[in-house]
Every structure is written in structure tokens, then in C-alpha cells.
Amino acid sequence: MVRGLGGIMKHDAENRMVMGRLESHATEQPTPETVGCVVFRARRAIVSIRLWQTLAVVALLIGCVAMIPASVVGTPFQAGFTPSGPMNVRSPRVVILKAARTLHLFDGQKLVRTYAVDLGRHPIGQKQRKDDGRTPIGSFEVASKNLDSPYHRFIGFNYPDATAAEWGLSHGLISEGQHKSILRALSQGLPPDGSTALGGGIGIHGRREGRDWTGGCAALSNEHVEELYSVLRIGDPIEILP
């Protein structure tokens, strides 16, 4: 790259020499022929200088980009980005990106694992009622864990949350008593009632099939849900984004 820049600088110097010679012509008595020649050469030299200066800048930029580590260029949510290393997680939190069909495990702000997930059979949009096949969107917490789930492992979270309960009450899907029951369970860190028209029993489990098939849960492979199950605790945050 240094050799290439040297060539560019040499060419630039030659063009400047041409410009110097053109300036010396300006002191002589001009004729139509010399005027035309000077104008032509001046224009050609100016264009050439600008071209090679531009190429020099581009070459420098390419060299700088080449020196950037791959770990900086890659993004945490890039497809196929799965950090490795021991699972010594002290402050676990989960972020699920529905559109990307990925689940991301963080230790505080550090990304630890990225897993592929299956979603509900109707994955687009917010969950509104029981059996709509949608995976809810929002901020939740781990509310239950089941080691002997029919789906290998189950990590339940507190859906319906307060937002869903308010929506259900305002739309006549749940009663005042059901609304109060949901809010009471949430305040105590317990799984809310999942038998109402809002649905429930939503969480993360195993038996991923590579397609959207669940009733609203996020399905991982059995191996991955075991890994996640081992680090998540009751009360750990789970955020689900569209």
C-alpha cells in the first residue's frame, strides 16, 4: 500500500511541475496557438491532480478499514454470531428478536449466547387473546421453571403482564376480579392466571422444529434450552421485541 501511495505522490508532483511550466508561459507574449495549448494543458493537469488526490484518499481509507478487527466489524445480532466460552453468567437477561427468530442471552451488557428459536404459529403482531398463536411483545420476568416439562424444559414468564391485563379489561375480555388477580400475582412475583381469555402459560421451552408452530412460546433446541435453563433464575428479565 505504501508503494502505491508513493506512485500516486510522484504522479501528483509531475502534474504540479506541468502547472509550473504553464505559469511561466503566462509571462510571454501570448498568441492564439499558445493560449489554446496552455488552456488545454491546464485543464488536463487540474483534472489529473484531482483524480490522483481522490485515489490517494480512497487508498488510505481502504488501508484503515483493513486494520479494523473482525470482532469490531461484526454486530452482536448478526446472523450466525454465536459467542463461545464458559457459561459463567452472573446477571443473565434474555432478548428475543421475533423478526430474526433469535434469542440472545446477555450477562449484563455482554452478549454470551445467540440461539435460533421457533415462535407461535402466527408470529407477527402482539398477543391479544388465548389461542391466537402469537408470541407476546414486551418486558417480562422469569416466573416459573419446570425441569420435567413435556417440552423437555420450560422457563415460564409472567404473561399476561399489567399491560395485557389493562387491555383485556378495557376490551371486555377479562373481569374486574380476573384483572385484580393478575395484578396481585405480578406484584408477588408469581405466574399470573393463564386460564382467562388473554391466555397464559407462555415461556421458553425445547423441541425446536425449525418452523413457527408453538401456541405463543419460544422454542429452542433441547440442548440450548438446557443451557439457558441452567443460568436463568426466577425474576431474571426477558424482553421480546417485534
State the helix-helix crossing angle for 162-170 and 176-187, rounded to 10 degrees: 170
CB 164 within 8 A of CB 136: yes
Amino acid at 138: G
Distance in angstroms (rounded) separating the CA atoms of residues 182 and 192:
5
| Neighbouring-strand partners of residue 156 | 144, 203
How is residue 111 written as a grid cell?
Answer: 452478549
Instruction: Give the angle subtended at the CA of 166 by the CAs of 164 and 171, to the nearest 5°.
Output: 95
Residue 29: the pLDDT is 52
Burial 1-16 (b: 16+ CB within 10 A, else e): eeeeeeebeebbeebe
Parse the chain into domains and list their residue ranges. 2-67, 76-159+201-241
Q: How far is it, in rounded angstroms, from Cα 72 to Cα 78? A: 12
| Contact (Cβ atoms closer than 8 angstroms) between residue 93 and residue 239 | yes
pLDDT at 88: 85
Q: Which helix (H) or strand (E) holds 133?
A: none
Whole-number pLDDT of residue 173: 95
Q: Which CATH superfamily is domain 76-159+201-241 in?
A: L,D-transpeptidase catalytic domain-like (2.40.440.10)
In order along its 242 residues, the chain shows pLDDT tens digits of: 444 444 444 445 554 554 455 455 444 454 545 444 444 454 554 445 454 454 443 344 344 333 333 333 334 444 444 555 567 899 999 999 999 999 999 999 999 999 999 999 999 999 999 999 999 999 999 999 999 999 999 999 999 999 999 999 999 999 999 999 999 999 998 889 999 999 999 999 999 999 999 999 999 999 999 999 999 999 999 999 99
| Amino acid found at 25 | H
CA 239 to chain centre: 14
DSSP conformation class of 57:
H
Give pLDDT, residue 87: 75
